[in-house]
């Protein structure tokens, strides 16, 4: 297999794209799998453009398909926002655009006003919908454990690689 090294090139609009260089590498392989494509899937009650495979949006604000007006409190980012293009670095300016809209909406009070917006109400809702969730406290403990595991190997951390492994580490 012959591979080409790419370099990232920024456009005037701030997006990144890959451009081939003149550097190649050849690898002996016995089998190659081709995996091309990504297609977003719709979520219940979230406007979706089935033709493009993205959530219907403008600058990250989810749009009502009939009125083309933003739906209060719904935002999107990444490939489900713009389709499968770009690289990891492309997501940063994309997310900045969405968060900018969120902050603008917060300033003019165009935000959701849930009945139980306090921490206890939110925790109860999450517990009802996903009883085996991880809390922030759980995440902090997992973070500490990953760092300890990595330190023993001379690394910054050794990540847990499955939900079951995380549950076991926390004694859940």
Q: What is the pLDDT of residues 149-158, one digit of tens each?
A: 999 899 999 9
Would you say residue 55 has pLDDT above 80? yes
**Which of 23-37, 68-82, 106-120, 152-166 has the least mean pLDDT?**
23-37
The average confidence (pLDDT) of the chain is: 90
DSSP 3-state helix, strand, coil percentages of the chain (rounded to 5)? Answer: 35, 20, 45
Q: What is the pLDDT of residues 103-157, one digit of tens each?
A: 999 999 999 988 878 888 888 889 999 888 999 999 999 999 999 999 989 999 9
In angstroms, the CA 46 to CA 44 distance is 6
pLDDT of residue 102: 97
**How many angstroms separate the Cα of 106 from the Cα of each of 37, 103, 169, 172?**
36, 5, 38, 37
> Quick count: other Cβ atoms within 10 Å of Cβ 82?
21
Q: What is the mean pLDDT of residues 10-25?
A: 85
10 φ/ψ angles, rounded to the nearest 5 degrees: -90, 140
**How many angstroms separate the Cα of 127 from the Cα of each of 120, 122, 167?**
10, 9, 15
pLDDT of residue 36: 65
Would you say residue 35 has pLDDT above 70? no
SS (H, E, C) 19-81: EEEEEEEECCCCCCCCCCCCCCCCCCCCCEECCCCEECEECCEEECCCCCCEEEEEECCCHHH
Would you say residue 33 has pLDDT above 80? no
> Quick count: other Cβ atoms within 10 Å of Cβ 5?
11
Q: Residue 107 gets which letter from DSSP?
A: H
């Amino acid at each position: 297999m012959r591979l080409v090294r790419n370099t990232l090139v920024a456009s005037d609009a701030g997006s990144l794209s890959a451009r081939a260089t003149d550097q190649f590498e050849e690898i002996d392989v016995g089998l190659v799998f081709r995996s091309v494509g990504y297609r977003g899937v719709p979520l219940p009650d979230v406007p979706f453009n089935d033709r493009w495979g993205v959530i219907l949006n403008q600058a990250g604000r989810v749009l009502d398909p009939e009125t083309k007006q933003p739906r209060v409190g719904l935002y999107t980012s990444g490939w489900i926002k713009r389709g499968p293009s770009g690289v990891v670095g492309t997501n940063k300016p994309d997310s900045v655009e969405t968060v900018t809209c969120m902050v603008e909406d917060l300033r003019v009070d165009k935000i959701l006003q849930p009945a139980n917006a306090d921490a206890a109400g939110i925790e109860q809702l999450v517990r009802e919908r996903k009883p085996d969730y991880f809390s922030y406290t759980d995440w902090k403990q997992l973070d500490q454990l990953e760092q300890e595991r990595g330190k023993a190997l001379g690394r910054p951390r050794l990540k847990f690689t499955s939900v079951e492994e995380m549950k076991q580490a926390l004694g859940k």
